[in-house]
Amino acid sequence: MDQWQPSLEYDEPGQFLRHCYELERKGNPKATYEAFSKKIGISLSLLKMLLGGKRNFSTQHVHQIAKALNFAHTEHEYFEAIVHLNQSKTKEETAFYRKRVEKLRDDQDERNLQYLRVPSHLFTSEWYIPSLIVYLIDVENLKEKSVEDINWPAIERKFQLSPAGAKSIVDAIVKTGIIDGVEQQKSYITTDQVAALRSTRRFLKKVAEESIKRLESSYGNKETFFHSHACSLSASAFHNFLGEYKKLLEAYNEKPDDDRASVHQIMMHVWPV
């Protein structure tokens, strides 16, 4: 596992362990579940039950697997936290481990972001800057050659730049060190999908929480005409927000309805865009 960093996007330990197995297969396409089970020191039948959610992870499983797969401290702690989260028996336990999981995710995002220190104005000064950076790395392969060897006419044509303008903006990009920094992380310029998902999740969670607060303050108020909550998200990511929307629906359900003639409408759209 040394060359792969497990993602902290999974809420269920079985999904997380399956993700680790897929990472093993990336490094060794011939890897099998049987070989993986031997590596982590459990039987194949037990592995399948753990992956399928038919058997709970024990504390011994957590530490044994973490050691076998050479987890970093954060990954080890995260694995342990989602095991406890999924086996919580009280609301207090669930809230505690949920908070711990989110904190570990936020910390990982922050570390990922620390790799890149580029002035924000560079990206916002012109619409084509992100594309130009990717072009310099992937097409011009600037890491392997000098600025002087760049195909300047191609850049000027593709990005509609004057010779002086192209030289100026490329020099500014090179000075940030971003080109040399690409080696430290596989995807520097393209959006980190895990971090993006995490940021979206945090944002929509705040939206749902804000809706509940507004519901608390406005429900039953004669001056309130209606309460509305809307958001857009992909169907594949919907499961990540079930908890927040369950709370929102429960908050509606718990409100007394003295006016039986009133109409309540809840509308949710989920569609591909």
Note the pLDDT tens digit of each residue in 189-199. Answer: 433 444 555 55
**Which one is predicted more confidently, 236 or 104?**
104
Total of domains in the chain: 3
Element spanning 198, H or E? helix 193-218
More confident residue, 144 or 165: 165
The answer as to whether 265 is a domain residue is no
Q: Are residues 242 and 173 in the same domain?
A: no
The encoded tokens of residue 148 equal 């002087």
pLDDT digits (tens, 9 = 90+) for 80-134: 999 999 999 999 999 999 999 988 887 776 665 444 445 556 666 677 887 888 7
Statement to judge: residues 108 and 180 lie in one domain: no
Does residue 38 form part of some domain? yes
Judgement on whether residues 19 and 104 belong to the same structural domain of the protein? yes
Tokens standing for residue 244: 């927040």
Is 267 among the domain residues? no
Using CA atoms, how far apart are residues 211 and 95, in angstroms rounded to an integer? 19
Sign of the dihedral defined by the CA atoms of residues 178, 190, 132, 169, in that order:
negative
- Over 60: is that where the pLDDT of 207 sits? yes
CATH number for the domain harbouring residue 37? 1.10.260
Asked whether residue 138 is assigned to any structural domain, the reply reads yes
Percent of the chain with pLDDT over 90: 26
Residue 20 shares a structural domain with residue 92: yes
Q: Is residue 98 one of the residues assigned to a domain? A: yes
Residue the block writes with tokens 């570990």: 104
Domain span holding position 57: 13-114
Are residues 23 and 110 both part of a single domain? Answer: yes
CA distance 258 to 273: 40
Choose the final residue of a domain: 59, 94, 114. Answer: 114
Do 29 and 107 fall within a single domain? yes
Model pTM?
0.47
